[in-house]
Chains A and B, each alone.
Chain A
Amino acid sequence: MNNPPDVSPDPSEHEQYAHDVAHHVKKYMMVGGTLLAFTALTVFLSYVNFGTQKANVAVAMVVATFKVGLVAAIFMHLSAEKKLIYRILIFASFFVLALFWLTYLAWYDPIHH
């Protein structure tokens, strides 16, 4: 579980709760370290030539997406979120992609070639 559990108003349960959350603190630090490492990685990889410009862009975007995934899943607790939030985000993602993709198609399929 990636969320610290909801705090109980009962003070006697607090010690156990604090102990549970301590685990999460460690996880946050580790993810933070990973993100920094991947930042260094993406900078390093940007000086490696993967052939075409498209390939360079793809590599950079894959690394960026991985980092974004970590932030979203762990820091934003998305991996343990409720269904409703997922639904909202799935719709938004779909529409962002539609905006990109359909515009791209309209842009690069003109009637004159």
Chain B
Amino acid sequence: MEIPYTVSTRPDTGLWNAKVGIWLFLASEMMLFGGLFSAYVFLRLDAEPGYWPHGLLNVPVGTMNTAILIASSVTVVLAWAALKMRQFMRYKIYMGITILCGVIFLAVKLAYEWPQKFEHFGAYLKTEALEKYEPYLGNHHLMEKGLPPRVEITGHLHNRAALNDPNIKEYEIALDPVNADPTNPALDRPHFLYVPPTEKIGTIEKADVERATMFLPTHSAYFASYFTITGLHGLHVLGGVLVFIYLWLPVSTKLYKRNPEHLANRVEVAGLFWHFVDLIWIFVFPLFYLL
């Protein structure tokens, strides 16, 4: 028993089944990421001044990852075109590059970006303590310029034990440039190049701290959204990569020999999903890395 219109198109709609199916799925994915983005929007709009950070993510690395994903979108459509032209070796090459790009994207995210965050520390100060730490915050300078205040001191935490030990009463932080030199006008806005924490040590008393954690999802609404959205996006990237691997394996060579158009359709459908994943990232990148 065969289902009609799996490969050929139905005359009145002009479509084959899986194409209808994948676009329906993408419509639902639009709603899914729409829900996530709406959460981002409301959490960000509701954040008190200074509580939604900027410049905490590595822009060059993020840009590179964006470029990798865009490149993979190009290669997947070239892979599909190669299949339509019945150039199987070319298809395998382009598909292989696509898979590689996807894996690199994930590796950069999971092996570099996220762990970098987990090693970074931030302490939100109590409102009454902001004046005390003015040397690290430079809020007078910011207020003169009409910029939102800084309420957080970030950097590399030297005494990690302080996180869990109530007997240790202060945090010793190798300060980030923006806290080491807060009145420097060059640091009013985040820089393109990532600058690691400086040598300068700042000591913050726990009593002055509202909340202090490593940059984990629990740290702030910003990181909660960042990790959740990039995490879910990453799961989608992984899913796409797995499907591509399946379409690249010998089992697909067999399908190519039997019905090349069927394989081309499957690659097209998987490619549509992949483009959607790229599309989401095109929004995620500026919203989290740049703005």
Find out whether A and B make contact in their complex, taking CB atoms under 8 A apart as touching: yes
Min C-beta distance of A48 to chain B, whole Å:
10
Chain B residue nearest to A76 (CB atoms) is B275
Known: A7-B84, A36-B70, A39-B67. A99 touches B35 (CB 8 A): yes
- Which chain A positions have C-beta within 8 A of B24? 88
Q: Mark A86-97, 1 if CB is under 8 A from B, else 0.
A: 001101110110
A43:B70 contact, CB within 8 angstroms:
no
Chain B residue nearest to A86 (CB atoms) is B23
| Majority secondary structure of chain B interface residues (helix, strand, loop or mixed) | helix
B30:A93 contact, CB within 8 angstroms:
yes
Chain A residue nearest to B32 (CB atoms) is A96
- Determine if B108 is an interface residue (Cβ-Cβ < 8 Å): no
A28:B286 contact, CB within 8 angstroms:
no
Q: Mark B18-46, 1 if CB is under 8 A from A, else 0.
A: 01100110011011001101100110000
- Determine if A112 is an interface residue (Cβ-Cβ < 8 Å): no
Known: A17-B85, A56-B291, A68-B283. A32 touches B70 (CB 8 A): yes
Which of the four size classes fits the interface of chain A? 35 or more
- Which chain A positions have C-beta within 8 A of B23? 85, 88-89
Known: A46-B291, A100-B41. A4 touches B71 (CB 8 A): no
B41:A49 contact, CB within 8 angstroms:
no
Chain B residue nearest to A90 (CB atoms) is B27
Q: Mark B269-291, 1 if CB is under 8 A from A, else 0.
A: 00110011011001101110011
What is the bound-complex CA distance between A17 and B252, given in angstroms?
23
What is the bound-complex CA distance between A91 and B67, given in angstroms?
31
- Which chain A positions have C-beta within 8 A of B63? 39-40, 43
- Which chain B positions have C-beta within 8 A of A14? 86
Q: How many residues of B contact A (CB 8 A)?
A: 49
| 8 Å CB contact of A91 from B27, B37, B192 | B27
| 8 Å CB contact of B27 from A24, A68, A92 | A92
- Which chain B positions have C-beta within 8 A of A46? 286, 290-291
- Which chain A positions have C-beta within 8 A of B287? 60
| 8 Å CB contact of B290 from A42, A85, A93 | A42
What is the bound-complex CA distance between A103 and B41, given in angstroms?
11
Min C-beta distance of B246 to chain A, whole Å:
21
B34:A99 contact, CB within 8 angstroms:
yes
Known: A4-B81, A28-B77, A103-B42. A84 touches B20 (CB 8 A): yes
A47:B20 contact, CB within 8 angstroms:
no
- Determine if B59 is an interface residue (Cβ-Cβ < 8 Å): yes
Q: Mark A1-36, 1 if CB is under 8 A from B, else 0.
A: 000101100000010011001101100110110011
B192:A47 contact, CB within 8 angstroms:
yes
State which residues 40-79 of A face B: CB under 8 Å: 40, 42-43, 46-47, 49, 56-57, 60-61, 63-64, 67-68, 71-72, 75-76
CB pairs A–B below 8 angstroms (29 shown): A4-B81, A4-B84, A7-B84, A21-B85, A28-B74, A31-B74, A32-B70, A35-B73, A36-B71, A42-B285, A42-B286, A42-B290, A43-B63, A43-B290, A46-B286, A60-B290, A61-B286, A64-B285, A71-B73, A72-B275, A75-B77, A82-B13, A89-B27, A92-B27, A92-B28, A100-B34, A100-B37, A100-B38, A100-B41
A-B residue pairs, 5 tightest by C-beta: A32-B74, A46-B290, A92-B27, A96-B34, A60-B286
Known contacts A82-B13, A85-B19; can you find 17 more A-B pairs with CB under 8 A? A7-B264, A21-B84, A31-B74, A36-B71, A39-B63, A39-B66, A39-B67, A46-B286, A46-B291, A49-B189, A64-B282, A71-B278, A76-B272, A88-B23, A95-B31, A103-B42, A107-B42
